[in-house]
Amino acid sequence: MKFFSLLLLFPLFLCRENKTESVRDKSDALIEETGRSKGSGTFSGGSVFDFYPTSTSGTVIHRQGYSFSYSEKFEQSEWVAYELTSADFSNRDFKRPFFVQDPKVKTQSADWRNYKKSGYDKGHLCPAADRKSSYQAYAETFFTSNITPQRHNFNDGVWNRLEQKTRYWAKKYNGVYVVTGGVLKGNLKTIGKEKVAVPDYFYKILMTKDEKKMIGFLVPHKASDLPLYQFTVSVDAIEKMTGIDFFPKLPDRKENQLEKATDYKNWSF
């Protein structure tokens, strides 16, 4: 009798398991569909982001909402670049999709399981909150090519404050160009079977769309209550650390002038 009852319950259990898998499959299918979207390098409002940094890995990939340079050696992007305007963020409460590997990275981006029980957050480089003009744009940020290991008290603390301030400036200055990533240099700690590197520093570089102002931030990977202006450095300094030329398409004279600047006082903190 007990055996017969188990036989009756087994199909129900199987159905529940299949339903769970089905939900995940649908989520994965939706986010993978964004990987096949057209319009590489095209951003909100139909504008074209034309300030791609150089790549030390030679692997630059364009999506609808951002571009990135993937480093297979470190199993993450060395930079993610995008245009940010007030049209890109909103109060929309999108359902968070699963993190999935990036179908556009031929060498395969790191599996999300590398982060499991690692003690590190799956930290977005292009924040999901910066891509709320549509669900498709939002979902793109959950490819593992757009994440990096971050301590929770850093990700939810000083780094989150900087992301919020970036959105404030995007609105105040009618749009900014953003380039962000971890400094992938030196003998870095790694996590997971694929040895995903844990950066010791993260950087964020902003330039107003009118190309009149530029500012760089270099933030140690640890919790901090210091004001954000304490982390400002010249873009030249970040270029020396990373080996990346962040705005190579700017006229040389303008590039040199903007990238050597260290004065943060013309930015509204």
What positions carry a catalytic annotation? 124
φ and ψ at residue 78, rounded to 5 degrees: -80, -25
Contact 136, 37 (CB under 8 A): yes
How many angstroms separate the CA atoms of 180 and 80, rounded?
Answer: 5
Of 76, 99, 7, 89, nearest to 44 by C-alpha is 89
How many angstroms separate the CA atoms of 218 and 116, rounded?
Answer: 27
DSSP 143: B
Of 70, 50, 48, 51, nearest to 59 by C-alpha is 70
Helix (H, G, I), strand (E, B) or coil at 38: coil
How many angstroms separate the CA atoms of 226 and 258, rounded?
Answer: 25
DSSP 113: G
